[in-house]
DNA sequence: GTGAAAGCGCTAACAG
DNA sequence: CTGTTAGCGCTTTCAC
């Protein structure tokens, strides 16, 4: 690979002149002639600035780490796009990582920051035990923005409007005439589950329907959890006519399990879920879902980390604009009169 | 962050002594006493080697880039795990990237290598137009291993055994008594589609069934492509009794479209697909699928890049062990007699 | 056994 | 306008 020195030699100028020109330094008062010579030489040699050299000198990598529990979860498609778009706009790059990595020595987050591989991070901690050592890191005031998750005392987070999302989903069922609506939620300790629960209860209360704790299942966000939720539903004394599933992946599992048990959706059971993804349109029946604004969350989170890096500011935000959006498909139907 | 200098100062030794001890250099002939002092000091200061410093000096990053068309495709879960496990075993780290990035300036691969962010790459080029400039890169003999894809003349690739995969799927239908079996394949120019087609034809030929080109659809690997394939099926003069779908995502779409048209699976149509993922067990009916060995491919590909980096060797491999594995679920049934 | 010193590629302050 | 120079954190050769 060509270095600044190579370019300088070819253009017949000094290394610093090349550096100034190629990084459009504001103080690059350079004659047009040499500028052209330098640019030409760089092109001819296919010059690319060496990452390590630049990072070492400037103590900056222009890289933001994005760490989520499961990278291949289709839900994160938009999150990544949002993060990348914002990063690109600010001259940063996004580095992806997984946090489900609980193996010893797999303290990804600490390493990325500690070794100076990234300037800051956007992290979603899973619903299980938070990665050991994360507390120390956050306390150390590193440029970390949490998404869809929380850590006691940490400032610097961006969350989706889970409450509104769950409320819209529940409201939709209420509007269809349902009164006995079960919530198939995430694990009780989960940050998002708590918020979705509030939205669910609020919709019921607004409609004058009594909230009943026995109608709240708290199993988790995977397809297997959704299947388990359906079985719990079947075991109830009185079967609900509708269910709000707090996650689209769980809803996919719930739907499959319903077919297996001969429950017809939406005739016997209306199903609506929080989160949309390509899978939701390809179930049968296609799932009515509340689309959450992952793209905006990605952009906002990255913007937040960069602000923290460059100005020191740190805030907690909730994405309310655009608002969560109900997408009616065919898994919900009016309550049979 | 603490530097070597900080640790040296605290331990009362020279920087080079610290460097030798902390990187277990073979020539680290150090007295046990100083070794202990150094290790203690490093621990106290929470020393972490600076990535840029090390990379700059050694001209090595110990990072392998893994670039696939769509990171959130659930199919890639195992691929990433395989790549990461092998990388960890060889003291490397994996950096994830997307290649669907056709925006101008978005030549991810060239940048990662050219700027020295990675030592080598594992790349799957999509089925569309190969990224501009990839040819130059490959010609430049960079340490790049292609997976599930090909580039004219390039040596250095790892592929799944697509032919066997498609053959097993087709064979399964033949064994069930089906004779008129359609192949819903990827785009004709696609590397994998060609190979799967061969396997499909081979199974038919082996069973003494004539190959009929009009029974081969070539639409692509997305759910939408699968839906389109189903509609094509319906438009055929004579409806087949079974279909081999070359990709699980397409199969999910095909299944949903079938329900929408009142086609019963497997009664009216048996469906088997190539590739397995969590979605395949959560459709209705659950999809009979051929599990391909993504984990092994991930490991092998990373091993290949590292071998290339460290020894210069470069080969083309096909993952035949473990072999593709038929997983029978409920989307296939015997041909009605 | 241990330390001094050079240099990887780059930026920026300073000199001319 | 342009060149010289120091130094970021690290590894490694060489000298003691």
As a three-state string, the secondary structure of B105-138 is CCCHHHHHHHCCCCCEEEECCCCCCCCCCHHHHH
CB pair distance less than 8 Å for B116 and A252 = no
CB pair distance less than 8 Å for B61 and A52 = yes
Kindly state the percentage of chain A with pLDDT values over 90. Answer: 83
CB atoms within 10 A of CB A26: 7
- What is the average pLDDT across B243-262? 98
B56 CA → C3 C1’, Å: 23
- State residue A105's pLDDT score: 47
- Give domain status of residue B325, yes or no: no
pLDDT at A216 over 60: yes
Same domain, B119 and B132: yes
Q: Which among A72, A117, A253 has CB closest to B72?
A: A72
Residue A106 and residue A161 in contact, taking contact as beta carbons nearer than 8 Å: no
Q: Which among B50, B56, B115 has CB closest to A48?
A: B115
Residue A1 and residue A18 in contact, taking contact as beta carbons nearer than 8 Å: no
Residue B205 and residue B211 in contact, taking contact as beta carbons nearer than 8 Å: yes
Q: Which whole-number Å values give the CA distances from A129 to A100, A102, A105, A219, B251, in the listed order?
A: 10, 10, 16, 16, 36
Q: How far apart are CA B107 and CA B133, in angstroms?
A: 8
- β A216-218/A270-274 pair status: unpaired
- β A325-327/A288-291 pair status: antiparallel
- Can you tell me which residue has its alpha carbon closest to the C1' of nucleotide C3? B14
Residue A37: pLDDT band with limits 50, 70, 90: very high
- Give domain status of residue A335, yes or no: no
- Residue A246: both structure tokens together: 């707090």
Q: Which whole-number Å values give the CA distances from B237 to A139, B181, B226, B233, B270, in the listed order?
A: 69, 14, 19, 9, 18
pLDDT digits (tens, 9 = 90+) for A297-318: 999 999 999 999 999 999 999 9
Q: How far apart are CA B33 and CA A92, in angstroms?
A: 45
Chain A nearest CA to B212, separation (Å): 30
The candidate with the shortest Cα–Cα distance to A103, out of B81, B92, B75, is: B81
pLDDT digits (tens, 9 = 90+) for A236-293: 999 999 999 999 999 999 999 999 999 999 999 999 999 999 999 999 999 999 999 9
CB pair distance less than 8 Å for A74 and B72 = yes
pLDDT at B272 over 60: yes
pLDDT at B12 over 50: yes
- What is the average pLDDT across A56-70? 95
Same domain, B154 and B213: no
Residues of chain A positioned with their CB less than 8 A from the CB of B282? 223, 227, 252-253, 255-256
- What is the average pLDDT across B109-136? 85
- What is the average pLDDT across B118-146? 83
pLDDT at B332 over 60: yes
- Give domain status of residue B241, yes or no: yes
- State residue B141's pLDDT score: 85
Range of the domain at A298: 60-160+294-319
Residues of chain A positioned with their CB less than 8 A from the CB of B72? 71-77, 80
Which stretches of A134-221 are assigned E, i.e. beta strand?
144-147, 157-160, 181-185, 216-218
Q: What is the CATH number of the domain that holds B300?
A: 3.40.50.2300
Residue B94: pLDDT band with limits 50, 70, 90: very high
Higher pLDDT, B169 or B127: B169
Kindly state the percentage of chain B with pLDDT values over 70. Answer: 95
- Give domain status of residue A55, yes or no: no
Q: What is the CATH number of the domain that holds A12?
A: 1.10.260
- State residue A71's pLDDT score: 92
Element holding B184 (H helix, E strand): strand B181-185
Task: Give this prediction's pTM.
Answer: 0.94
- Give domain status of residue B54, yes or no: no
Same domain, A169 and A287: yes
- Give domain status of residue B334, yes or no: no
Same domain, B167 and B274: yes
Rounded to 5 degrees, what angle do the CA atoms A82, A191, A196 make?
85
Same domain, B216 and B279: yes
Q: Which residues pair with B273 in a beta bridge?
A: B245, B289
A213 touches strand C (CB under 7 A): no
Chain B nearest CA to A262, separation (Å): 11
Residue A199 and residue A174 in contact, taking contact as beta carbons nearer than 8 Å: no
Same domain, A155 and A298: yes
Residue B277: pLDDT band with limits 50, 70, 90: very high
- What is the average pLDDT across B268-292? 97
pLDDT digits (tens, 9 = 90+) for B186-233: 999 999 999 999 999 999 999 999 999 999 999 999 999 999 999 999
Same domain, B38 and B80: no
DSSP-assigned letters across all residues of B59-117 = T---EEEEEES-TT-TTHHHHHHHHHHHHHHTT-EEEEEES---STT--HHHHHHHTTS
Overall number of domains in chain B? 3
Which bases on strand D have an atom closer than 7 Å to a protein beta carbon?
1-5, 7-13
CB pair distance less than 8 Å for B51 and A50 = no
Give the three-state DSSP class for B313: coil
CB pair distance less than 8 Å for A283 and B278 = no
Buried b (16+ CB within 10 A) or exposed e, B46-85: ebbbbbbbbbbeeeebbbbbbbbbbbbbbbbbbbbbbbbb
Same domain, A44 and A128: no
Q: How far apart are CA A329 and CA B97, in angstroms?
A: 33
Which bases on strand C have an atom closer than 7 Å to a protein beta carbon?
1-5, 7-13
Same domain, B39 and B84: no
- State residue A27's pLDDT score: 64
Q: How far apart are CA B323 and CA B164, in angstroms?
A: 8
- State residue B337's pLDDT score: 78
Same domain, A152 and A168: no
Residue A198: pLDDT band with limits 50, 70, 90: very high
CB pair distance less than 8 Å for B253 and A282 = yes
Same domain, A303 and A156: yes
- Give domain status of residue A39, yes or no: yes
Query: Which of B282, B287, B298 should be substituted to probe chain A, the one whose Cβ sees the most A Cβ atoms within 10 Å?
Result: B282
Residues of chain B positioned with their CB less than 8 A from the CB of A111? 48
Q: B49 to chain A: nearest residue by CA?
A: A115
Residue A106: pLDDT band with limits 50, 70, 90: low
- State residue B24's pLDDT score: 82
User: What phi-psi label fits residue A141: left (phi over 0), alpha (psi between -120 and 50 degrees) or beta?
Assistant: left
Residue B163 and residue B196 in contact, taking contact as beta carbons nearer than 8 Å: yes
Q: Which among A74, A97, A283 has CB closest to B256?
A: A283
- Give domain status of residue B192, yes or no: yes
Give the three-state DSSP class for A184: strand
- State residue B102's pLDDT score: 52
Higher pLDDT, A70 or A167: A167
Query: Using omega within 30 degrees of 0 as the cis cutoff, is the peptide bond preceding A322 cis?
Result: yes
- State residue A59's pLDDT score: 96
Least confident of B108-112, B136-140, B143-147, B151-155: B136-140
Residue B105: pLDDT band with limits 50, 70, 90: very low
Residues belonging to chain A with any Cβ–Cβ distance to chain B shorter than 8 Å: 1, 46, 48-53, 55-56, 61, 70-77, 80, 95-98, 111, 114-117, 223, 227, 252-253, 255-256, 259-260, 278-279, 281-286
Residues of chain B positioned with their CB less than 8 A from the CB of A73? 72, 74
Same domain, B227 and B130: no
DSSP-assigned letters across all residues of A316-337 = EEEE-SSPPEEE--SS--PPP-
DSSP-assigned letters across all residues of A99-125 = S---STT--HHHHHHHTTS-SEEEE--
CB pair distance less than 8 Å for B115 and A282 = no
């Amino acid at each position: 690979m060509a270095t600044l020195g190579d370019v300088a030699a070819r253009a017949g100028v000094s290394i610093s002149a090349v550096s100034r020109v190629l990084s459009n330094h504001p103080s690059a008062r350079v004659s047009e002639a040499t500028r052209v010579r330098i640019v030409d030489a760089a092109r001819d040699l296919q010059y690319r600035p060496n990452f390590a050299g630049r990072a070492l000198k400037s103590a900056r990598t222009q890289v933001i780490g994005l760490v989520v529990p499961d990278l291949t979860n289709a839900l994160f498609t938009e999150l990544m796009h949002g993060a990348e778009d914002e990063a690109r706009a600010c001259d940063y790059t996004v580095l992806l990582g997984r946090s489900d990595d609980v193996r010893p020595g797999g303290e990804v987050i600490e390493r990325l920051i500690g070794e100076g591989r990234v300037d800051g991070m956007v992290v979603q901690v899973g619903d299980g035990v938070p990665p050991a050592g994360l507390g120390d890191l956050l306390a150390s005031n590193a440029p970390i923005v949490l998404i869809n998750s929380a850590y006691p005392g940490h400032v610097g987070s961006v969350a989706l409007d889970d409450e509104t999302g769950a409320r819209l989903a529940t409201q939709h069922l209420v509007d269809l005439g349902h009164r006995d609506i079960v919530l198939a939620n995430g694990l009780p300790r989960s940050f998002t589950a708590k918020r979705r629960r509030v939205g669910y209860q609020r919709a019921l209360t607004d409609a004058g329907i009594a909230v009943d704790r026995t109608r709240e299942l708290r199993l988790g966000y995977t397809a297997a959890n959704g299947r388990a939720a359906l079985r719990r539903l079947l075991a109830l004394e009185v079967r609900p006519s509708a269910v709000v599933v707090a996650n689209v992946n769980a809803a996919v599992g719930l739907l499959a399990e319903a077919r297996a048990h001969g429950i017809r959706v939406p005739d016997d059971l209306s199903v609506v879920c929080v989160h949309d993804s390509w899978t939701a349109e390809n179930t049968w029946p296609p799932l009515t879902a509340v689309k959450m604004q992952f793209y905006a969350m990605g952009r906002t989170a990255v913007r937040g980390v960069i602000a923290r890096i460059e100005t020191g500011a740190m805030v907690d935000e909730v994405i309310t604009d655009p608002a969560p959006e109900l997408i009616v498909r065919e898994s919900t139907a009016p309550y049979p009169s």
